[in-house]
Amino acid sequence: MFKTISILIGNSERTIFKWKKENRPILSLLEKYFTKDDLAEFLETEKIEKFDNILKIQNIVINNNINKYIDTFIQKTQSNTIKFSGNFFIDFYFSFLSYFNKFDMEKSFSCLIHDYLIDYSSDKYMYPLQLKTINNYLYLFNDFDDLMTIFLSQSLNNNFAELLDNDDYSIGLNKLKKDEAYFHIIGLYFYTNHSSLNPNLKIELIKSFSGRTIDKFFSFDMLINFIKENEVNTIQAFKESYDKPLYDIVTLKADK
């Protein structure tokens, strides 16, 4: 069973054994609802005959995590969005997401984000106040479990396309959720495709494009095409004003 699960998830048997000892929810789910033969059949045929509605079940799991992800920022932040959490946290979080699939997935989400903060803060030579600003938001992820980790790993490969292009998810009917989804998709796009740009510049680009999407509806492809059509001119226009270090005294005062 463990060998089959390791192939399915894409991790070593050693990792699966470790997860078993840690009582990871994903293993409990697989062992409770699937037999070894079910998983083997899925690996061989990409379907399980006895589960005619397997795709529906998968979509329910995806939808639950989409809602959980977006609601984390809407319900747990005072401003109902990551947008006003401050440049230090925004830079930290989207940097974290852009490196997410390079991490050791044997670790829990909590370990991953705290380990990354140690590396990030060392690399940036941060002041205590800057580090405190980021730490103040880590409580947002207290409820992120293994299913969320797997959801993020898959969704980040698609630049968060699932946030907009899942037919069963009514994000378009809720303005707060729609705007938050746009911000995360735009943020991940610039941190993934323009990693060499100055953090200040990337953040202003994210905020600018996010502002242009207010009161509009985009599918994922429409949103990405909108960014691609306008990014070159916008980057050039913003460079003079925002191409300065994020971690300096001037920016520190502005980010309070």
Summarize pLDDT for 121-150 with one digit per residue, the tens: 887 766 777 888 899 999 999 999 988 988
The average confidence (pLDDT) of the chain is 84
**239 in the same domain as 190:** yes
**135 in the same domain as 17:** no
Q: By three-state DSSP, how is residue 208 classified?
A: helix
**DSSP count for the chain of H helices, then E strands:** 13, 0
**97 in the same domain as 47:** no
pLDDT score of 55: 63
**92 in the same domain as 31:** no
Cα–Cα distance, 141 to 149 (Å, whole number): 11
Higher-pLDDT residue of 108 and 57 is 108
Confidence of residue 47 (pLDDT cuts 50, 70, 90): confident
**28 in the same domain as 126:** no
Q: How far is CA 54 from CA 57, 61, 124, 201, in A?
A: 5, 11, 46, 44
Instruction: Judge whether 29 lies within some domain.
Output: yes
Instruction: Judge whether 156 lies within some domain.
Output: yes
Higher-pLDDT residue of 242 and 36 is 36
Residue 10 gets the label, from left (phi > 0), alpha (psi -120 to 50) or beta, of left
pLDDT above 90 (res 22) = no
pLDDT above 70 (res 256) = no
Instruction: Tally the domains of the chain.
Output: 2
Tens of pLDDT along 199-223?
A: 999 999 999 999 998 878 888 999 9
Tens of pLDDT along 168-186?
A: 555 555 888 889 999 999 9
Range of the domain at 14: 2-52
Instruction: Judge whether 70 lies within some domain.
Output: no
